[in-house]
Amino acid sequence: MDETTLQFYRSNAESYAAWAKAPSTRLIGFLGLLPPGGSILELGCGAGNHATEMLARGFNLRATDGSPEMAGMASRKLNHPVEVMLFDQLDAREAYDGVWASACLLHVPRAELAAILARIHRALKAGGVFYASFKAGEGDGRDSLGRYYNYVSADWLQAACATAGPWQCLSSDTSEIKSFDEAPATMRHLVMRKG
């Protein structure tokens, strides 16, 4: 992960956690694709809002975040361990029924994203489901707070996924949001099944 971006979340963990919105409505659909009580890896769990719902529904959750400060806050909120882990430290193989990566892989440098997607593909069991959301656009850049974004188009993201392993695309769509820095953004949502 980009070091400047990581430092932003380390330094602003409390204010970001206070801003964090309710769990995505897409989470319920994602959970419905998994076996009851299945195993989930959450990347970039942030304040733990999605993890709260996963645990309440009886899933076996491995929650992770790259910021020790954010992981600590989420762990206390959830009363559940949250592991400090960067994306390139994921080394599990065929361990999870689902991987949930809401608005976190959008900080991976473009040149490194395919390798991270390959790690996620490896970590999923056969038929496992992967959700990720990215800011839509062309080319990379930084927001007004200095955070790095890989800004992906549908075609670019499809090509990056294709190099990471065989996937079946279950859904791909967009939504409009207002970011932490109050800037409007189009989010690209992707749900894939390991082929």
For the stretch 24-72, pLDDT in tens is 889 999 999 999 999 999 999 999 999 999 999 999 999 999 999 999 9
d(C-alpha 173, C-alpha 45), whole Å: 22
| Contacts (Cβ under 8 Å, ≥6 apart) of 32 | none
CATH fold label, 3-194: Rossmann fold (3.40.50)
Residue ranges of alpha helices (H) inside the chain are 3-11, 13-19, 26-32, 49-56, 68-78, 110-123, 154-164
pLDDT digits (tens, 9 = 90+) for 134-157: 999 999 999 999 999 999 999 999
Instruction: List C-alpha distances in Å: 100 to 26, 139, 145.
Output: 11, 24, 25
Q: Per-residue confidence at 98, pLDDT binned at 50, 70, 90?
A: very high
Measured over the CA atoms of residue 45, residue 155, residue 179 and residue 108, the dihedral's sign is: positive
Q: Nearest 10 degrees: CA dihedral of 159, 162, 163, 167?
A: 150
- Give the strand pairing for 148-149 and 141-142: antiparallel
Instruction: List C-alpha distances in Å: 17 to 33, 64, 150.
Output: 28, 15, 22
What is the reported pTM?
A: 0.95
Coil/strand/helix, residue 103: coil
